[in-house]
């Protein structure tokens, strides 16, 4: 893996080079093993939190972890193109627009003891801008090369906080073209429901049941690239104990193994139909 500037990453994408890179400020990673018609994203995978923010933060390390999406990068790490955040959403949220990416409160609790100075806000927002500069270059290249693209926007959610039965997988589709891509959406939902998972976990899947797909990552790509479908794919945190902060690596590994075949099969069918 190389440490590269944003300009270097964009240049390599434009030249169709394959590479593994971490951004120069360690805010995100991008690997391209080959240029394909699909991308995996894990924008909330990161847990890093700038040290200069520690003393001013009212949320504990556990509280931050609880609202992040740990292991979502590992679930898709075997695929040819993976972009993932390294920083915690509590510093800046890549799935929110720049105006709301810096939290003042989070899940009903004030985040900062004192209002963040403008220079600290600017430092975080620069990372947000840089990430989307790379996203734009990447999807532009893939649409130019393949005509269409599908992005698997991986997230997780805390299922135990719900007071009703919720699915193992939720697809948020309220901001994509359901008329054009409805078949691909339903095929993906159905494939997720057929996963074989350990520990007697049943792999149920529904559309817009817990979340509707309102994230900025999806909206940015959808609004800028008319031939790219973003599938906001959320797994309930059945792969950990969300209250004790214990990960279940056998479940993460099982999800990854299932996605190794299901995801490219779905992407191939999407490409065949929409290219």
In tens, the pLDDT along 173-230 reads: 999 999 999 999 999 999 999 999 999 999 999 999 999 999 999 999 999 999 999 9
What the block records as the tokens of 8 is 């270097």
Give the residue-averaged pLDDT of 95-106: 94
Give the residue-averaged pLDDT of 89-99: 97
Q: Report residue 108's pLDDT band, with 50, 70 and 90 as the boundaries.
A: confident
- CA triple 22-12-268, angle to 5 deg: 90
pLDDT of residue 79: 98
Rounded-to-integer distance, Cα 156 and Cα 169, Å: 9
**Helices within the chain (DSSP H only):** 6-14, 51-54, 61-67, 72-75, 118-146, 178-193, 216-224, 249-274
pLDDT of residue 107: 86
Q: Report residue 55's pLDDT band, with 50, 70 and 90 as the boundaries.
A: very high
Give the residue-averaged pLDDT of 85-97: 97
Q: Give me the half-sphere count of Cα atoms (radius 13 Å) on the Cβ side of residue 254.
A: 18
Q: What is the dihedral of CA 222, 181, 212, 268, to 10 degrees?
A: -90
Instruction: Share the mean pLDDT of the chain.
Output: 97
Rounded-to-integer distance, Cα 204 and Cα 195, Å: 9
Rounded-to-integer distance, Cα 107 and Cα 241, Å: 19
pTM (2 decimals)? 0.96
The domains located in the chain, with CATH, are 2-274 (3.40.630.40)
């Amino acid at each position: 893996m190389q440490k590269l500037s944003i300009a270097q990453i964009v240049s390599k994408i434009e030249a169709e080079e394959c590479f593994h890179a971490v951004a120069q400020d360690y805010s995100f990673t991008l690997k391209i093993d080959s240029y394909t018609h699909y991308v995996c994203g894990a924008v909330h995978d990161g847990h890093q939190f700038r040290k200069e923010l520690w003393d001013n933060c009212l949320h504990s390390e556990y509280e931050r972890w609880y609202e992040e999406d740990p292991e979502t990068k590992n679930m898709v790490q075997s695929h040819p193109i993976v972009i993932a955040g390294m920083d915690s959403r509590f510093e800046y949220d890549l799935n929110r627009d720049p105006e709301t990416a810096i939290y003042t409160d989070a899940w009903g609790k004030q985040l900062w003891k004192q209002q963040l100075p403008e220079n600290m806000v600017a430092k975080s927002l620069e990372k947000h801008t840089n990430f989307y500069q790379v996203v734009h270059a990447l999807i532009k290249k893939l649409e130019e090369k393949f005509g269409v693209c599908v992005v698997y926007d991986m997230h997780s959610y805390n299922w135990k906080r719900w007071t009703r039965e919720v699915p193992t997988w939720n697809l948020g589709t309220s901001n994509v073209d359901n008329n054009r891509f409805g078949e691909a959406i339903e095929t993906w939902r159905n494939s997720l429901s057929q996963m074989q998972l350990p520990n007697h976990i049943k792999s149920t899947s529904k559309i817009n049941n817990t979340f509707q797909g309102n994230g900025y990552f999806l909206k940015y790509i959808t609004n800028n690239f008319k031939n790219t479908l973003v599938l906001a794919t959320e797994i309930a945190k059945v792969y950990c104990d969300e209250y004790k902060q214990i990960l279940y690596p056998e479940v993460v590994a099982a999800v990854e193994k299932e996605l190794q075949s299901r995801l490219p099969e779905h992407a191939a069918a999407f490409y065949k139909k929409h290219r």
